[in-house]
Structure 1
Amino acid sequence: MSKPYTSTRFDTDTATMAVFDPAALAHRCEDTADWWSVPSDEISEINQGHVLFVGLGADGSYEVEIFRKLGEAGLHGKYLCANLTVLSGCLYIGAAEQVPAGNLGPETTYGGALIYAMRGHIEVRVYRQAPNKLVVEFESTSDAVLNKFTSSPTL
């Protein structure tokens, strides 16, 4: 396994991680804070490539190693995968409580990371390495967003 691009930690009390470009969810800024707990809204935004929500199975603190190339972590086995659209060149990885809502956007005061990502489309993979340790890999792709989730993604 190579060295991660960066790492972060976050706390969640919704047992959910999110990966997204804040600009891709700007249309949700005026929604209520729990808009994404409505399954049809959550799945719609995932399938449009605006966000990847990842059910973690438990609240708590999570460590995340972030890699900028697929396969760079050297992990094999079960992972979640989705294509996302990056509009601003910024990607948030952390607690789902930080998705835009209630006229607020993501902040890293309580953990998570805002990192650079090439504008366009990216493929994102999320692995669980240990109960509270996650790995996120992402890489630019020429593939269009073709997510076809029918239920909430979980690890």
Structure 2
Amino acid sequence: VQSFTEGCAANDMVPGARLVSRTVVAATHKDAAFFGVEPGCELIVVERVRTADGIPVMLENNAFVLADHPYLQTLADKDLTDNSIFALVAEHSGRAPLKSDPCTVEIALADAQAAPLLEVPVGEPLFYMEAYFTDAGGRPLLLGRQKIVGSRYVFDI
């Protein structure tokens, strides 16, 4: 698994991140099944706009089990700005995403919330990617739901 930060570096671009929100939500049945927790368990969802050379490319939504990653709720905003969340998780937990299974990509339209954050018109086609990341031990680590501006991002499959 290559992080957004690593992908930008590999393409000689400067990665950036701007925190949009950090919220605690109750795990749905589907999310709880992936994480191996009870439905209703607290998840922390970190939403950020990811940029490449200052241009918005992705609206990133990453969910973690709060009990496993409490530092994500208490880190100052600057610690989540212009940083790789994969690197922060690895630094604080010793765990890094190794693979994503399953990972789906479909087309979605930019809504009134995503469009201004990504600096695209409402209705702009976006890639919507849902990825279930596990660590080296096969343990669930994070669930990513990303909206990606297709004209600004290339997938290498």
Using the size of structure 1 for normalisation, the TM-score is 0.35
Tell which has more relative contact order, 1 or 2 (C-alpha 8 A, sep 6+): 1
Larger radius of gyration: 2
Using the size of structure 2 for normalisation, the TM-score is 0.35
More helix as a share of residues: 2
